Amino acid sequence: MDGQHSEKSQSDTTADRTSSAMSQNPRAAQRQAGTRGNPEGDAPCPASHRISSPISRSMKDLSCMKVPQDPAHRDKQAHPTTILLCKSRSSQAALMPKEHKMFMEEAYNAAICFKMLRDLNGSDPLHLKYIIKKIKGMAYRAPNLVLETIHDYLVDNPEISSRHKFRLFHVLEAVIEASNSLEEAWQKSFMQLALENMTKSTELEEVYQDAASDVLLAICRHSWRMVAQHLETEVLTGVFPHRSLLYVMGILTSNEAIFNEGEKACWEEQLAQLAVKSVQFLNTDMWSKELLLALTKPDRTHQEQPPEKAFLFIYYGLILQAEDNSTTVRTHLRTLLDTSHQWPKQREGIALTIGLAAARHLDHVWAVLEQFGRSTPIKWSLHSFCLKGRVRRALTLHLCPRCGQNAEDLQWKWASSTILLSYGQMAVRAKAHILPWVDNILSRMVFYFHYSSWDETLKQSFLSAVLMLVGAVSRNEGAHSYEFSQVSELLDCLMVLMEKEPRDTLCTPTRQQTIHIISSLCKLRPPLDLEKKSQLLSTCLHSVLALPLLDVLEKHTCLFLEPPNIQTLYNKTSSALDQLLQSFIMQSPTTDELHLLLSHLYPWLASEKAQERQRAVDRSTALLRFLSHSHSLDPKEDFRRIGQLVGMLGILCQDPDRAIQQSSVEGLGHLYQLLISQTARAAPMVNAQAPKQLSPASVDGAPVWSSGDQKTAPPTPPEMTFPKDHIFQLDSSQVIKEVMKHLTKAELTDLIWTAIEGLGSASPFRVQAAADMLLTTIREHGAKLETVANLGRAIHLQLCSVCIPQAKEKALHAITLLAQNHTPELVATFLDFSVPLDSHAFCLWRALGAEQPVSRQVLAVLLAWLQERALPPGPRDGSPQPKDKPCPRSLAAMNMLHELQFAREFKKAVQEAFPQLLLALLAQLHYTLELHLPQEPHLPQEPLLPQEPHLPREPHLPQEPHLLQEPHLPREPHLPQELHLPQEPHLPQEPHLPQEPRSALEPQPGHEAPEAMPSPHSTSLEALKSLLSTTGHWQDFAHLELQGGWKLFSTIDTYPQGVSLLARAMVQNHCKQIKAVTSQLLPNLQSKEARERKVAILILTEFLYSPTLLEVLPRQAALIVLARSLRDPSPEVRVLSLQGLGNILFHPEKESLLRRQLPPFLDGFFQNNEQVVVQVMGTVSDVLHRLGAHSAAAQSLGVAINARSFFDDERDGIRAAAMALFGDLVAAMAGKELSSLRTQVHQSMVPLFLHLKDHCPGVVTQAKFTLYRCAVLLRWRLRHTLFCTLAWERGLSARHFLWTCLMTHSQEEFGIHLAQALSYLHSRHRHIKTWAALFIGYTICYHPQAVSQMVSSVDTNLLFSTFEDLKKDPEPSIRVFATRQLYFLQKVAARP
């Protein structure tokens, strides 16, 4: 307490003395005249005056904290303070002159400053902080006044406490730093003050010494040379320097802000000279021991190294560098290495010392490190030794065998890290001398990388060492003349390091550092091979691009005490990756190298994750921007293989993420500029623009908004800044079109391949964008494309995975456009995967014929392929014949000609090509018969896709001219369970019948699709059928279908009959295509193929019966054609030609001869021999056919009566022959008004109707056909529906429809029909009897009154008996019908 009162008393006295001295000292007044200031001011310190050492900054902050206090000080009571000058300055200014006023202001300020210096002895931390702030503010306005006040305070109060002085030192440091200049007297005075207190021991220990040292450092800002001279004097005394001296020298060495420009090099030079002068101390044991003790002294914190220790490592290294004795150097280095390697700063310091020593003693330093690396502690620290050795060592040291560690282990655990850092420092310090040692150093680095215990410490040391080595080599101009053999092994280590990085975190700059190292290593010789370069690219890209979103990365750092700035870290890592790509292209400025780089980015551009796509497109755009503005590519290089890049970027222009869109558009713009530049093959463009950011950039150069890799939302609308080129002002579609204009055919093909590949993506936007790209490319440049066959095949493969209707439609439209110029190639390609035909392939065929001119060309190409047939086996002459196989494309063309007939797009083309198709299909049928193939084999081909059932096609059966549209019947309809009868009789409406099946090969309702593929023959036959049914020739189709004529095409022997029957049907139905077919078949008579000549002559001989033939081929011309065919090499053609020459057209006299033969033939009907009767009836039919238009009308009635009389003959053959003859007669008389014949026709309808249920299939067939022919003669309506019903319908619904047609068109013959039906109730054939009962039942239902008037009691009883029998019929529908008819018949019979 006494000491404190004494101090206060002295302070008061000093204040009085200071005031008195100032008032009587003119020099002091003059010195203070220029200073003004408000003692209460709180102006902040300018930034230019706030320069301080980062090491001392933590010490300065102690001024704001409460220093330790002893109990005496804590018990001290605060005394009230008073100010000497109590009057206000305003009152003094009113009484004094101006000069005296200035003096008094200075005195007042000095008094205020003095008081604040005295108050620094307080204990309140907040108050202390306030006082220090005030003093610093006053120092910036009047530094000299504050300096003088502090000096006087310290001089007048020498016994102040160390805590108080500690605070004064901080204030003094701030004041000196704030001064623009410092008088020499002040420099010497304060430097002496600092030197005296730097080594002083107090209860504050090092904190007090560092505060005094900071004052000396502040003086260095004004005169460092004087301070350095004093420091050197103190260091060279021979006694190991005090810690504070080393502290000051450490700050001077590490803080460049203390020196002016160029002065740092002078300090380093002086430091080197100091080291040279200190070499003598290495041989002093005491000095060396203290040095080693200071170097190994534990730090207060292991994360930061005190300045004095950091300087000591430098100082030690410089001394060893200056030492001439190599033995001394080795001894000291080994001693240093034998110290602990546990702490990171210690390892860095040791490495720095070794590196400085290596600048002059490289060989010896290498030897020391090699020796140290082979020492036992280092060997034990490596993990290459077996567990057995570890267990033995643990037992020896009495340790746990499981861990085997003690304090000694921790000392050596990271020794390999020190060695790695030492190698790096060696490279940095040795400079040019290091080049011959690079491979050796790299080999040791690789060794320690592989065999050290791997952890974060080793990883960071390895990276730091390699960075130092690579940096040293890169800065050396002679590096290009060396080849470094160990670079490849080092790159392998770096790839391993990248792969070991956590996939979901980014907490360290490891990736960035590794990529920088790889970039530098790639510039060294020898150049990397392609495989190594590819591995590096894959590893680096995956490590960076596959990182999660930045928000996810930040979540992994939320528990860190000092979390890193993820945004900055990621931006720097991405920038390093850009530099790597640029480094590769700079080392090899070729388009092949560019293609290699881009090929590794393509998978990431197609990633399903938005952040990966964004990162990849940013990297691509950055690379293109660099190439566009640096013009690095060799202008002699042919800029090619970029079609895939255009496709990828074009697809990404439609990415849902707007940042990806913008980056992709910019990338295409730079690519366009690059194309222009390379096409010009000239110097770089004069007006090349510097690359600009797509959006406002952050400090690190990365845009502040994007899809997940940046935090800030994009501005609305985003202000994009592009280079001032017109290409950057266009939208994405226009940019793509502009780029396409500069692509070659091969590049356009690559672009299309990329778009096709995108069709198979799982991302909807990619599929849609790829379809747009495909359509745009083909629309703009489809005409000049090549290899379209492969493109068409690829589109087919991808089409099955396209689920977006709009995208699929655009892809098919692209095929339509492509077919405009490449129809033959596409047709040939599509044929390869069209058997079996799947739905996607059929869509492609429809797209192929979407335009009318192209559809005609498609059919022409298919017909051409149809004729590319393999030679069938030759005649069997006993020699072995090769087993020829049909051409796959020929058979596929056959199949497609069949399928396309049902496509809406080919409807008109098929109709126009009917003559060619008819002749080609008939020839193809003959060819398939020649092959002797089995009926249902699998076609010899490899389908590209799994087999699918036939496609549902657009139904189309031509309608009968001038008739209402008729629905069509299925082949096997389901029978109704009940027959619902109307309550009131009326004529039924026409039943709704399902449409006729399109192809016999297609599965019918209720039937599963056949597993086996249809044979070529059956496919050809179905194609012929569908050709007739889809082109309006259904009458011709009906003739063959109702007669069972299609089976004639099943064998080679009956084939001519089938062709003749078809041609005859065309003549009898007055086909409008006869002239066109005739014109088409005439050239076929000269064909090299015998089958084509055969088909042509067969049709021609039948067409001779048509008057229309003469409009195309006059009689004389027909004779010439037939006569020429008599010389045909084929015997069949010659025979057919001879038959044609016998036509009545060329021999009119035959007409009367044939007519005279008819009566005898009619008499032959009554022969007992069934075969004779059948042959006679057939001869009469043939005579009627030969007479043709000159048919015997006079004998027609007799022929009709005789033929009708045999409809119910007991002999099946005669019944069938009679019905066939009656039908031929009806066909011959078509168009002639013969009332007598019409009567016969009406009377034959019920027998024919009932014989549809005849037990003989031949009779049923002839009954159907003749009934149809009679309906044609009688001009029934709905003849097409009638044909379908006769051909395929079964059951009560079909019978009801047939009954309706008969009764509707034959109301005048109602009685005759009913009587005929009643007579058939006596038939011995159950089915005919049943059918007759049904006929009568329908009649009773709809015409009860008429039936009751015409039916006798005998007939009524017969009906009752018949319906009773039908109630026992095995068919349920018949039983139900009979039950209801009995009830109805009873009601009818009961009527009066």
> For the segment 863-907, what is each residue's pLDDT rounded down to a tens digit?
999 988 876 555 444 444 444 445 688 889 999 999 999 999 999
Residue 1276: its pLDDT value, please? 87
Q: Map 327-360 to HEC letters.
A: HHHHHHHHHHHCCCCCCHHHHHHHHHHHHHHHCC
Q: If 0-12 CB within 10 Å is exposed, 13-18 middle and 19+ buried, where does residue 618 land?
A: buried
User: Residues of 991-1014 as b/e, b for ≥16 C-beta within 10 angstroms?
Assistant: eebbebbbbebbeeeeeeeeeebb
Amino acid at 1238: R
Q: What span, in angstroms and rounded, lies between the C-alpha atoms of 377 and 340?
A: 11
> Is the pLDDT at 20 greater than 60, yes or no?
no
Residue 1128 backbone phi and psi in degrees, to 5: -65, 145
Where do runs of H (alpha helix) occur along 800-951?
A: 805-832, 839-848, 852-866, 888-900, 907-912, 914-930
> Which whole-number Å values give the CA distances from 63 to 127, 131, 165, 216, in the listed order?
11, 11, 11, 17
pLDDT digits (tens, 9 = 90+) for 1329-1365: 777 777 777 777 777 766 666 667 777 777 777 777 7
pLDDT digits (tens, 9 = 90+) for 804-820: 999 999 999 999 999 99
Vertex 1053, ends 1047 and 1056: CA angle to 5°? 75
pLDDT digits (tens, 9 = 90+) for 505-547: 999 999 999 999 999 999 998 999 999 999 999 999 999 999 9
Q: What span, in angstroms and rounded, lies between the C-alpha atoms of 812 and 819?
A: 11
Alpha-carbon Rg for the chain in angstroms: 56
> Is the pLDDT at 1115 greater than 80, yes or no?
yes
Least trusted range by pLDDT, from 2-16, 124-138, 377-391, 820-834:
2-16
Of the candidates 1003, 993, 1048, 997, the one whose C-alpha atom is nearest the C-alpha of residue 1026 is 997
Percent of all residues in the chain with a pLDDT value above 70, rounded to a whole number:
78
Amino acid at 45: C
Q: What is the mean pLDDT of residues 1103-1110?
A: 89
- On average, the pLDDT of the chain sits at 79
pTM: 0.71
Residue 525 backbone phi and psi in degrees, to 5: -95, 150
Q: Measure CA 1111 to chain center.
A: 64
Is 385:379 a contact under the CB 8 Å cutoff? Answer: yes
Q: What is the mean pLDDT of residues 371-388?
A: 73
pLDDT digits (tens, 9 = 90+) for 1174-1184: 998 988 888 88
End-to-end CA gap in the chain: 154
For residue 195, give the 3-state DSSP assignment: helix
Q: If 0-12 CB within 10 Å is exposed, 13-18 middle and 19+ buried, where does residue 488 land?
A: middle
Percent of all residues in the chain with a pLDDT value above 90, rounded to a whole number:
45
Q: What span, in angstroms and rounded, lies between the C-alpha atoms of 621 and 1343?
A: 89
Residue 188 backbone phi and psi in degrees, to 5: -65, -40
Residue 709: its pLDDT value, please? 65
Of the candidates 1056, 951, 1043, 1055, the one whose C-alpha atom is nearest the C-alpha of residue 1269 is 1043
The encoded tokens of residue 1003 equal 């599965």
Per DSSP, 1045 falls in state G
Q: Which residue has the higher pLDDT, 569 or 1312?
A: 569
Q: Hey, what's the torsion of the CAs at 214, 220, 226, 231, to 10 degrees?
A: 40
> Is the pLDDT at 64 greater than 60, yes or no?
no
Q: Of the spans 762-776, 935-949, 976-990, 1357-1371, which averages the highest pLDDT?
A: 762-776
- The owner of tokens 């408000």 is 38
